[in-house]
Amino acid sequence: MARPSRAARARRGPRRLLSAAVGALALAAGLLTTAAQPASAASLTQVTSFGSNPGNLSMYEYAPDGLATGRPLVVALHGCTQTASDYHTHSGWAQLADQYGFAVVYPQTSSSNQSLSCFRWYDTSQDTRGHGEALSVKQMVDKAVAQYGSDTGRIYVTGLSAGGAQAANLLADYPDVFAGGAIDSGLPAQCATSSNGTNACQYNSSGLGLTPQQWGDKVRNSYPGYDGPWPRVAIWQGTADYTVSPVNGDELRDQWTDVRGIGQTASDTQSLPGGTTLSVYDGPDGTPAVELYSISGMGHGLAVDPGSGSGQCGSTGAYFLDYICSSSYTAAFWGLDGTGGGTGGGTSTLPAPTGLTVTGTTDNTATLGWTAVSGAASYDVYRDGTKVGSTSSTGYTDSGLTSATSYDYSVAAVDDSGTPGTRSSAVTATTTGYVAQCFTANNYQQVVDGRAHTSGGYTYANGSDQNMGLYNLFVTHTLKETSAGYYVIADSGC
C-alpha cells in the first residue's frame, strides 16, 4: 500500500485527537488524547526510590552500557495518554544517547493523577518550584546525577505537548538545574494557572495578547531573585496544529528571548528538511540562545525522521510524525553532539570548560574561575562574545570595566597548536557601584513602592526623611535614589 503523504498524515492526526470519545476531556485539561502505539520497554529500567515524590510520578531511565562519568543528562517528558516507554521507543532520544553518550530520564505520570495521563502543567501545586510534579522531576535528576556521575552543568529537559508545557515550567522553576530545554508542540511557562485557563492557552489562534516582557515575567517570577544564567531553549511547532495553536511557538519565542534580554527579530533564518524553517535568536555573546523551528503543514506531535542516515532518528507512531528529526537538531543545539551547540569555539577537540563562575567583582573588574580541561595549554576568555584575554591558569581578572554594568563571559580551552575548543556556557558578572535612578509618582504610590513612608498623615522620603506633603493621590513628587534605599526630592530635575 502506498504511504500517505505528510499533508494527509498531518490532517488525519487532529481528527483522531478531537474524536467524540475524548474531546470533552481534552478541553478540560489535556493534550494528545488518543492512545499511543504500544512499544517495548526492554531497554528501560524503572527506579522505584528517588525521593519523597510529591507529584506521584514514576521514574524510568536509560543509559548506554559503560557510560562514563561526567556525561550529560536529558529528561524527556511524554504527552497525554502516552508512557515513558512510548517516548523512549519513538522520540529518538535512546538512539542519540547511544550515539553521543549520555543518560536519559523519562518521568511518567498516570491516570490516577490526571484522567488522560497528562502532566499537570496548569496546576500551580504541581508545576512550581519545590512542589508536586516539578519537585518529583528534580528529585529524579538528583538520583540520576548520583547514579551516573552526570555533569551537572549539562542537564537538559524536553517534552511533547503537555510534557512540553511542563518542560517549559521546569526551565522556569529550575534554571539553576537545566542548562537548556526543548518544547515540542507545547506552551509557554505558566501560561495557565488553573484548568479554567487551558483552553485559552491551547486553542486561541491570536494568543493571549501578552507582551514579551509579560511572558518573561512569568519565568522570572517562577524563581524570584535568581540571577544566574538562563537556559538555552529550542521551540518546535507545526503550522497545522489544531490542538496547540501555532501562535504558542511565537509566544514561547517572546518569553524566552525576553528572559535572555534579546529582541524578537531573528539573527538568522534557515530552511531545513521536512518543510522546517529555523529562526535563530543570538544572545549577547553572539551565540544562539533561542531557536524556533516552524514545520509547515505538521499537525500536533513530535517531528521524527526514521532512518539510519546522518541526522535521522526516531520512529513513527501516534503523534510521532515523519518530517524531521527534532531530537537530533535539539541535541546539536545543546551541544550533545560534541560541536558545542553553537556556543562558539574553533575546531579543536577540547571540550568546553565546566564550572565557570564569577568569583568576585569591583567597580571596574570581574574575576572568573573554572575547572581545568585535560590537555589544555591555555584558555581564551570572551566578554560579550569578544576575546579579551588568555591565561594558562584556571582563573582570570578582566579590568577596565564600567561600574554597575553587566557583562557576559565564556571560556574556551586552547590546545598546544593554539586552536581553541568549544566555548563554555556564559555567565554574567555585574560590577559594583550605584547608578542613581529617579521615580515620579504620587505620594501614595511612592509609599506603596517602598520609596517613602508615612507619619501623622504626611509622607517622608526614605533615607533623607524629607517631607513630601500629604499622604494622598493628589500630591506628586520625583524621588532620586542616590544610594541603595536613600531617596531625596528631585522635582527640579533628575
Q: What is the pLDDT of residues 26-76, one digit of tens each?
A: 333 334 433 333 333 338 999 999 999 999 999 999 999 989 999 999 999
Q: 21 pLDDT exceeds 70? A: no
Cβ(422)–Cβ(415) under 8 Å? no
Q: Please tell me the distance from the alpha carbon of residue 436 to that of residue 442, in angstroms, as a whole number.
A: 20
Contact in structure between 452 and 444 (CB atoms under 8 Å):
no
Distances (CA, A) of 55 to 140, 155, 223, 255, 484: 11, 21, 19, 26, 41
354-365: per-residue pLDDT in tens? 999 999 999 899
- The pLDDT assigned to 352 comes to 86
Find the range with the poorest average confidence among 285-294, 426-435, 450-459, 475-484.
426-435
Choosing among 3.40.50.1820, 3.50.50.60, 3.40.50.720, 2.40.160.20, the CATH entry for 6-334 is 3.40.50.1820
| Mean per-residue pLDDT over the chain, rounded | 87
Report phi then psi at 357, rounded to 5. -140, 160
* Best-predicted range by mean pLDDT (3-7, 141-145, 206-210): 141-145
Domain ranges of the chain: 6-334, 357-430, 437-489
Q: Tell me which CATH code domain 357-430 carries.
A: 2.60.40.10
Contacts of residue 166, Cβ cutoff 8 Å, sequence gap at least 6: 77, 119, 120, 121, 127, 133, 134, 159
Question: What residues have CB less than 8 Å from 226, skipping those under 6 apart?
Answer: 175, 176, 220
Side-chain half-sphere of 433: how many Cα atoms within 13 Å? 16
User: Which active-site residues does the annotation give?
Assistant: 161
Sheet holding 458-461, edge to edge: 452-455, 458-461, 467-470
Interatomic CA distance for residues 445 and 91, integer angstroms = 52
Q: Is 453 helix (H, G, I), strand (E, B) or coil?
A: strand
Whats the size of the chain, residue-wise?
494
3-state SS class at 330: helix
Are 6-334 and 357-430 the same fold in CATH?
A: no
d(CA 452, CA 397): 39
Nearest to 88 by CA among 127, 56, 58: 58
Share of residues in the chain with pLDDT > 70 (%): 89
List all residues 6 or more positions away from 200 whose beta carbon is below 8 Å from its beta carbon.
192, 208
